[in-house]
Amino acid sequence: MQVMQVVRVVRRSLVVASVAVAAVIPAGSVSAGAVDGAPTPLVEAADTEAALEADTAHHGHAVLWDGLLDIWLESENHGPDAVSDATVELTFSAPPQPDASLPDDCLRGGHRTILCRAGELRAASTGQGRALRLRFAGKPAEVVIVVATAWNGGAADRNHPNDRHTVLVPATGDAYAF
């Protein structure tokens, strides 16, 4: 019976000691791995350098008529930091013809997706605009385009309403802006 009481006291002591250690050492500051029995501190990227922040935006217009979709696209960066390289993704509700000629800085990302390099975007600047002409099978009455940032050089972007658009483009021959 006395052995059981000693075990309970030891357990309580261990629990109290582990709670005390947890209260003193911030979570995530020591890794589970150790070298020569000594714990190794974790170094997070945020500790070593400040994360970049940029506000990447994409704007333009699209026109659909007779099975052809013309898109004018401009990417920009409202800052505060520059973006070393950016990529915009265009996803379509209908697949463009596979033989569509694309600008040199664009490529197919899938059956209904095209990726275009926006390149370096300095803070408070607009990148080079690009035009795309895509043909669709048949003559769709409308095409929905989702425009979004695929890559912005690793910078954080806290303002997504200007870099993610869903655009309905009816086959009227009119320009629909985004």
The number of domains in the chain is: 2
Full residue range of the structural domain in which residue 43 is found: 2-48
Residues 65, 36 within the same domain: no
Do 102 and 141 share a domain, yes or no?
yes
Report, as ranges of residue numbers, the positions in the chain whose pLDDT lies below 50.
1-49
Q: pTM higher than 0.75 for the full model?
A: no
The whole-angstrom separation of Cα 94 and Cα 174 is 19
CATH number at residue 65: 2.60.40.1510
Same domain? 25 vs 67 = no
Question: What's the pLDDT tens digit per position in 66-94?
Answer: 999 999 999 999 999 999 999 999 999 99
78 and 118 inside one domain = yes
Domain check: are 24 and 79 in the same one?
A: no
How many residues are listed for the chain in this entry? 178
